[in-house]
Structures are given as structure tokens and as C-alpha cells.
Amino acid sequence: MHTLKIAALALLGLVLAGPSQAFTFVDLGTQAGSPAGDLQAVEVLASDAGGSFDVHWGVDDPALSAMATFTVTSFAAGSVVLDITLDHTTDLADSGLTNAAILSMGFGVDPEVVATLSGVGSVFDTVGTGSGPQRTFPGGFKQIDVCIFAAGCSGGSINSGLAAGSSDSFQVTLTPESSDFSDGLTLAFFPIKFQTSAGSFEPPGGFTPPIPEPTSVLLYAAGVMVVGVGGQRRRRAA
């Protein structure tokens, strides 16, 4: 099993999460994206079945925005089902753009998974991984285990994407490759690709609850999680 280490994330959660918080949200203490933004993660446990959390994306110039609601429809040791509704909330009049579309979105997962679209959207109808052995996503993201797209994970025609002011819903089933979800699973990074009349933009996603900054000790634990993913994948590739 590769590591966005569940044990380290659980330690972070004990320190950072309030007693009434259903999900554990963590700032990983590093950045990626274009424009760059803080990378964040969420730990999902069996007790979170039926719960939802929101992921937000934003770019200041031009003004781009989107939001997705992730609902944990079911949680078992052998599979987790996520229902996702993606809203492209960009206002073209405010942004000064003539057009804007979302072409793809994704996230990293620990433990490693196989993803299937158990319910396709009207726009987002294909699931895969990031590109190449490091599973990259535009904007400098790596270890993207799940990429959901209209034409391709790295992009495509703007006309194939989710237009500004539109929404789409789809269902993703995650199955562990070699372990199981008995200790929960972690979703991270949440890159998205906006294609616009002013070019392309790939920011990371962030959560509605405020994410506390880790202390120096917790930053080390978060660093172990990020480095561990790449190291384990490189060993597997070798």
C-alpha cells in the first residue's frame, strides 16, 4: 500500500479535528497547480457513510470558480461509492471571458484503487488515472489515481467540457487494488482543469471548513505522506 499514510493522517486528525467534525481535513503543507495553491486532503472512514463534503476551486484572474459536493453513498472494506455533483459557477460577465469550460477533475487516493464510473454524467463520462507512470495532471500534479473527464484527462476541446453556469453529476466506485478500506481512505489534491478564452488554468481544490496550518511536527508528518506516495510508486515502477 502506498502512503498518504493513514496512520500519520489519523494523528493529524486527532490534533486538528474538532469533536463534531465528521470528516478529517488536512493541509498537506505544500503547493501545486497553475496558479499554485495549497494541497489538502480528507480522510474518509466507514462512519462517514451518508455524509458529504464540498470542494471549492477558484482563480482570481480571470475570475473562475467551481464547487463539487462529494457524498459517501456507501462504504465497505471492498468498495466505496462516491456520488459527485460538480457546479461550474464561473460568471462570464464578471470574468471578462467569452467562454470557459471544465474539462477534467481528479484526486489522489490512498490506498491505491481502481476507479469505475458506476453512473456517468451528461458531460463527464470517462474515468482513468493521471498520465504516465507518475499519474500526472496538468498544473504539476502527481499521483492522481482518479481522473474524470469529458475528452481526456489532460484536456481537449473547450466545446466538450462543462460550460460556465452548468452542472453535472456522476458516481464513482473505488475498489482497493491490494489492501482494503478497513482503516479508511484518503482523498487528496483535487486538481481541476479550466479551459477558457484566456488560456487554461489548473488550481487545486480546497474545503469549506478552515484548514489549520500544521505545526512543525505535523508538517513533517504531512511531508512523509506526500513523499511516501512518490517513493512507493517509483519502487513499483522499477
Domain containing 141 — which CATH number?
2.60.40.1170
Closest residue by Cα to residue 207 from 51, 30, 93, 52: 52
The structural domain count of the chain equals 1
pLDDT digits (tens), the chain, 238 positions: 454 444 444 444 444 444 334 899 999 999 999 999 999 999 999 999 999 999 999 999 999 999 999 999 999 999 999 999 999 999 999 999 999 999 999 999 999 999 999 999 999 999 999 999 999 999 999 999 999 999 999 999 999 999 999 999 999 999 999 889 999 999 999 999 999 999 999 999 999 765 555 544 344 344 444 444 444 544 444 4
Distance CA 8, CA 3 (A): 9
In a domain, 1, yes or no: no
In a domain, 36, yes or no: yes
In a domain, 41, yes or no: yes
Pairing of strands 100-110, 192-196: antiparallel
In a domain, 92, yes or no: yes
Check: CB of residue 125 under 8 Å from CB of residue 189: no
In a domain, 162, yes or no: yes
What is the structure's pLDDT at 231? 47
In a domain, 157, yes or no: yes
In a domain, 97, yes or no: yes
Structural domain of 34: 6-237
C-alpha torsion sign, points 188, 60, 139, 156: positive
In a domain, 62, yes or no: yes
